[in-house]
Amino acid sequence: MLNRTLAPASKQVNDINFIAPTKQQLANGIQVFTVNVGQQELVRIEFIFENVNYNQNKPLQAVTVNSLINNGTKTLSAKEIAEKVDYYGAFLQTEYGADQTTITLFSLNKHLVAVLPIVKSILNESVFPQQELDIFIQNQKQKLQVNLQKNDFIARKTFANTIFGDTAYGSDISMADYDALKRDDLLTYFKAAFKPANCTIIAAGKFEAKEFDLLNQFFGQEWENNEPSTVNELTYAPVEGGEIYIEKADAVQSAIRMGNLSINRKHQDFPALQILNCLLGGYFGSRLMANIREDKGYTYGIGSGIASLKDAGYFFIATEVGTEVCANALQEIEKEINILKTELVGEEELDLVRNFMLGSMLGSLENAFSHADKFKNIYFSGLDYDYYSKYIHTVKTISAEELKAIANTYLNWNAMTRVVVGKK
Amino acid sequence: MVDFNRFTLANGLKVLVHEDPTTPMAVLNILYDVGARDEEHNKTGFAHLFEHLMFGGSVNIPSYDEPLQRVGGENNAFTSNDITNYYITLPATNIETAFWLESDRMLSLAFSEKSLDTQRNVVMEEFKQRYLNQPYGDVWLKLRPLAYKTHPYQWATIGQDLAQIENAKMEDVKAFFKKHYNPQNAVLVVGGNVKTEEVKKLAEKWFEPIPAGDKYTRNLPKELPQTEARTLTVTANVPLNAIYIAFKMPARIDATYQTYDLMSDILSQGQSSRLYNSLLKEQQLFSDINAYLSSSLDEGLFVVEGKLVTGIDKEVAEKAIWEELNKLTTDLVSDDELTKVKNKSESIMVFAEMNLLDKAMNLAYYELLGDAATLNTEIDKYLAVTAAQIKEVATTTFVKEKSSTLYYLANA
């Protein structure tokens, strides 16, 4: 007779294999990192540029250049670019991040030779037509109007601006910032940022010698852009914690976002802090979820995280809760933080978190793209694969005492900026 | 190409196995053939609430999530108007834990009052977060009852209102489980670093002892053909006027489905699409414009929606949408345009094979549609679509008398 009350035997994840990329160089010196695995005849090629020349009076320069870079070049209109990319079943995505701007091409191998020239045109000779800029400004302002009615959007924006001020990480974008966009500024930024010296290429998928030769053919010469630039390097003053309450009279839920400046991946305590974060709010079974969702039913979801940026890290907790239970939810969050600082985590819970995190790491290495993503995490933090060895070692061996010490070093309710948007 | 093996257990549970030795992980995906369309009129939102209760402990195992996390696994689920789908990913060496957990909750739930109390609250907060506390969040709560008058697609998966969720009783929960959560009403897909023989043994061990239960025969009220244009005007505290136009289209299984899908791509897939270029870029009437299908198992919807540029008259904007739709009824799309959307569909399908969970979910869904093997021939149906067929479905679909239009307007 089958005994359904007994769990089947299980094993802790032991081998986690990272596939390090092959490093090559184009003729002009651009570094190319290649993860060549997978059966499907497809590739993902990322052209990554450091954000440069940050000007707090023109906070939208980089993000606008990124959005409009595929909206017209010397030889192709916005519509022609889109039509050609779509015709070959490719995807061209432009992504603006806090530290880097990425132009990503997804393509089947058989169409690569047809789509790379389009990317070349975009990276070399974008012209940012005034008409496209006008449409962009109009539509982005409308999007901002809609977003400003979302409590979680306001909470996120207020939180970032409070801890990072008007830097690239925290700028509080308003309608006026869109109105101030000038085509000439975009062209200047484009010439400074989109050049070989500021570019790293990461390719993943079925990327072999033939594909590398194509890349070299289209991107290995001199490019048109060569204006001087300085990679952003941020400094900011630490802020005192405290509550910021933005009342919305007709809210049925309040958005809560709280946290503080913290360490990033470069710091030796980062893996330990990630484990602590996982316990607190980093997975479905976390203490915040168990208490505030699964026990009290105050929310659909609550979570915490640590973001690692180039020049900073920050810790945050975010949720949306019923307005009538907002005060209770805040109390419970504070309580959970304090428990981590005063009580040792039990061995059973710690074991569970160890296994969960190892399984999660294993599962995050699914295909060529995810191996490339793991590489990006360390490469742009100036680290190597030892980081992951140390991470795995820490997950397997950290003690309850060490976690308590980490909690006391990095979690402090009074030091947190606590934003509440809605009612309480 | 997603290869698979297939067998059926004595109790009627269909099992599919996709072997992928390139990953150290495994996926267990179970699709139950029940969705919001199977709910009773005054008990809407129940299929989704029930999905939450499936995580509240089963007859022999007090916690579902905890033992799974303990072996390095993760899980989630979603409910739609048609189906409820549960999935687990975990290291392949621990696959038996997934069988243990998933089979026990198919056998029977713990039916704990505490879990029902909590999940009622959680789902009500979900309702508020996604539908009430967002600009335009309640659009589908308005559009569905406008487009459907008798079929249960007239309500959204979340339910018609908070009160019906608040009133859910344990006896309803038990009845729903007995009616729908049977082996013969489910498709199980196991994928990843597994062998079919091993999966077969585990399936026989954990799932085969579960009683077959009574077969649920679906008999939903049919929607009568729509013969007059329907409109609804709503004003709300939103910054921009918006228009939503919904047309009836055939069920997912119909032979014209792929034609409709390509037609929606021609209108709105990416920055080369017609609506984007004509209405957003050239005429600058909309700041946001889209066309898409509901892809429903019964008669579905083809939806065009857009947010208007401030100051643009809504009649002007609506007329411009109709002009684009009418073009599809009068002119054949060009070879290049058709090739373009076909190529894009082909790419999307190849890229979908990069992800193990996507493959498992797709196998389960295509098996529900009739045969998982059609997942691998689906692209051929897209490639066979002609310009004349697109013109034909456009002509039968884009008719005022068959449209339901929602004007969602900013408070003055």
Whether pLDDT at B412 is above 80: no
B390 neighbors B340 (Cβ within 8 angstroms): no
The pLDDT of residue A408 is 98
Share of chain A above pLDDT 70, in %: 100
Partner-chain contact B22 A2, CB within 8 Å: no
Instruction: Please provide residue B41's backbone torsions phi and psi, each rounded to the nearest 5 degrees.
Output: -55, -45
Q: In angstroms, rounded to a whole number, what is the distance separating the alpha carbons of residues B302 and B320?
A: 17
Partner-chain contact A300 B126, CB within 8 Å: yes
Asked if the interface predicted TM-score (ipTM) of this complex is over 0.90, the answer is yes
Q: Where are the beta strands (DSSP E) in B92-145?
A: none
Residues in a beta bridge with B25: B91
Q: In angstroms, rounded to a whole number, what is the distance separating the alpha carbons of residues A358 and A396?
A: 8
B73: helix, strand or coil? coil
Whether pLDDT at B181 is above 90: yes
Task: Report the half-sphere exposure of A86 (CA within 13 A, side-chain side).
Answer: 23
B102 neighbors B86 (Cβ within 8 angstroms): yes
Q: In angstroms, rounded to a whole number, what is the distance separating the alpha carbons of residues B87 and B31?
A: 9
* Full set of structural domains in chain A with CATH: 22-219 (3.30.830.10), 242-422 (3.30.830.10)
All residues at 6 or more sequence positions from A236 whose CB lies less than 8 Å from its CB, including other chains: A163, A164, A165, A167, A169, A170, A261, A312
The pLDDT of residue A14 is 87
Any idea what the Cα angle at residue A261 is, between residues A260 and A262, rounded to 5°?
Answer: 110
Partner-chain contact A295 B118, CB within 8 Å: yes
The enclosing H or E element of A102 equals strand A100-108
Picking from A99, A103, A98, A120, the residue whose alpha carbon sits closest to that of residue A68 is A103
Q: How high is the mean pLDDT of chain B?
A: 96
Burial of B264 (0-12, 13-18, 19+ CB in 10 A): buried
3-state secondary structure A194-225: CCHHHEEEEEEECCCHHHHHHHHHHHCCCCCC
Q: In angstroms, rounded to a whole number, what is the distance separating the alpha carbons of residues A260 and A415?
A: 7
Task: State the pTM of this model.
Answer: 0.95
Whether pLDDT at A10 is above 90: yes
Choose the mutation target among A92, A143, A284 for the interface with B, i.e. most B CBs under 10 Å: A284
Choose the mutation target among A108, A144, A145, A347 for the interface with B, i.e. most B CBs under 10 Å: A145
Name chain A contacts of B136, Cβ cutoff 8 Å. 146
Whether pLDDT at A238 is above 90: no
Whether pLDDT at A225 is above 90: no
Residue count (chain A): 424
Residues in a beta bridge with B79: B84
Nearest to B60 among A5, A293, A367 (CB): A5
Any idea what the Cα angle at residue B254 is, between residues B248 and B257, rounded to 5°?
Answer: 70
The pLDDT of residue A391 is 97
Q: In angstroms, rounded to a whole number, what is the distance separating the alpha carbons of residues B168 and B44?
A: 10
Q: Which two tokens stand for residue B269?
A: 């897939």
Backbone region of residue B12 per phi and psi (left: phi > 0; alpha: psi in -120 to 50; beta: other values): left
Partner-chain contact B74 A91, CB within 8 Å: no
What's the mean pLDDT in B295-317? 98
Partner-chain contact A251 B133, CB within 8 Å: yes
What's the mean pLDDT in B124-148? 96
Nearest to B339 among A87, A145, A356 (CB): A87
Nearest to B287 among A143, A251, A297 (CB): A143
Axis-axis angle for helices A386-397, A368-379 (nearest 10) = 90
Picking from B18, B67, B74, B78, the residue whose alpha carbon sits closest to that of residue A364 is B74
Nearest to B336 among A79, A82, A87 (CB): A87
The pLDDT of residue A59 is 95
Distance in Å from the first CA to the final CA of chain B:
54
pLDDT digits (tens, 9 = 90+) for A272-282: 999 999 999 99
Share of chain B above pLDDT 90, in %: 98
Instruction: Please provide residue A287's backbone torsions phi and psi, each rounded to the nearest 5 degrees.
Output: -65, -40
What's the mean pLDDT in B154-174? 95
Q: How far from the centroid of its chain's Cα atoms is residue B229's Cα?
A: 26
Q: How high is the mean pLDDT of chain A?
A: 96
Name chain A contacts of B122, Cβ cutoff 8 Å. 293-294, 297, 299-300
- CB atoms under 10 Å from CB of B157, counted, come to 21
What's the mean pLDDT in B198-202? 98
The pLDDT of residue B328 is 98
The pLDDT of residue A343 is 98
Domains B5-206 and B230-410 share a fold: yes
* Closest residue of chain B to A278, computed from CA coordinates: B69
Q: In angstroms, rounded to a whole number, what is the distance separating the alpha carbons of residues B45 and B152?
A: 11
Whether pLDDT at A226 is above 90: no
The pLDDT of residue A39 is 82
pLDDT digits (tens, 9 = 90+) for A365-413: 989 999 999 999 999 999 999 999 999 999 999 999 999 999 999 999 9
Partner-chain contact A143 B288, CB within 8 Å: yes
Picking from B94, B78, B103, the residue whose alpha carbon sits closest to that of residue B15 is B103
CATH number listed for the domain at residues B230-410: 3.30.830.10
The pLDDT of residue A232 is 93
Amino acid type, A340: L
The two counts, helices (H) then strands (E), for chain A are 15, 11
Amino acid type, B364: A
B5-206 topology per CATH: Cytochrome Bc1 Complex; Chain A, domain 1 (3.30.830)
- CB atoms under 10 Å from CB of B52, counted, come to 19
Sorted by where each begins, the domain ranges of chain B are 5-206, 230-410
Q: What CA–CA distances, in Å, run from B270 to A37, A108, B274? A: 29, 18, 9
Residues in a beta bridge with A94: A103
Q: Which two tokens stand for residue A73?
A: 């070049």
The pLDDT of residue A332 is 98
Share of chain B above pLDDT 70, in %: 100
pLDDT digits (tens, 9 = 90+) for A281-294: 999 999 999 999 99
